[in-house]
Structure 1
């Protein structure tokens, strides 16, 4: 059993040894570019932005305040990780309360890795009668293991190497979502 002191030592070591892939300033500039794209595409509509918890919360908080048009905000919680560093089956924890029927839905998340969770959420929104469903992610992890060949989000702020990532909403064992940039761990760390 890991003590609190051992956990803190591990977390501090992980943060210290991680490589910064995108600085806080880089992330902010990328979020600004996505905000412009979303404003162009949605300012004449009445969309609902659905944030995937917990990872999407930092991205959503920084993106939504840059969108100066009426929109509704909701959230859902579906996860394949639940505190682990590798994913299992999608588990639904909380579903959106807003009616998605006939609505333009934009799903906000921190990362598009393999994409199984995102694909399951898209299908769930369509099943609830969404008129359109778009995806918007902070980071697209570049690799060839996507759930569907060529899977991409409709809006992507940044791309990142195929490493275990944390920061700006992405976590390491439930911690470091608050790290002010996007950081990568070497293969033996994650």
Structure 2
């Protein structure tokens, strides 16, 4: 992958198509949190941030949860600094024993599904009692793995998207809305 500068990333944002405004993202997060509160209340869950993209939705959802919980994180990636995924690489975690626990994985996007499927398989193999997945964005595309997401926020077309935790070549995870690289005209 060719590296880009911060200025080049900013220029991509200026030309990008806004798929979901910050307001729509906030409404989706509120809706997700309400459904998660209803489902996980009383389960003493271990809420797991899927790094790195999941850090933004995780941080925005966590204060909305109205039940006692513990947190953890995992960092498994297929992308690194590339645009297309390869073999799943475990960088860190899990750090807390999931045996007998209700697990909620929070990630930024369900794209191909390989990373989330691999993380789910590991938690199940390590004895999680129940496992739920929450993603801010579901990309409308065919998937190699049939990954069921119990709590999804928004849908996007099969385009290169960024913002709200999703990056553009390492930049723009901090952008409040969800954007797609401008289509060639």
TM-score, normalised to structure 1's length?
0.92
5 Å-filtered alignment, 1:61-100, equals 61-100=59-98
* Deviation larger for 11-20 or 55-64: 11-20
5 Å-filtered alignment, 1:76-155, equals 76-144=74-142, 146-149=143-146, 151-155=147-151
What corresponds to 1:28 in structure 2? 26
Q: Conserved in 1, the CA contact under 8 Å of 2:117 and 2:145?
A: no
Per-residue CA deviations over 1:150-172 (Å, capped at 9, x if unaligned) read x4311101111110000000001
Say yes or no: does 1:180 pair with 2:176: yes
Instruction: Using the TM superposition, give the Cα deviation of residue 175 of structure 1 relative to its aligned residue in structure 2, in angstroms.
Output: 0.8
Alpha-carbon distance in 2 for matches of 1:102, 1:187:
47
Alpha-carbon distance in 1 for matches of 2:163, 2:179:
6
Instruction: Using the TM superposition, give the Cα deviation of residue 134 of structure 1 relative to its aligned residue in structure 2, in angstroms.
Output: 1.0
Instruction: Using the TM superposition, give the Cα deviation of residue 187 of structure 1 relative to its aligned residue in structure 2, in angstroms.
Output: 5.8
Alpha-carbon distance in 2 for matches of 1:135, 1:64:
14
RMSD of aligned alpha carbons: 1.5
What corresponds to 2:167 in structure 1? 171
Q: Conserved in 2, the CA contact under 8 Å of 1:164 and 1:186?
A: no
Alpha-carbon distance in 2 for matches of 1:38, 1:109:
14
Aligned length: 183
TM-score, normalised to structure 2's length?
0.94
Alpha-carbon distance in 2 for matches of 1:123, 1:158:
24
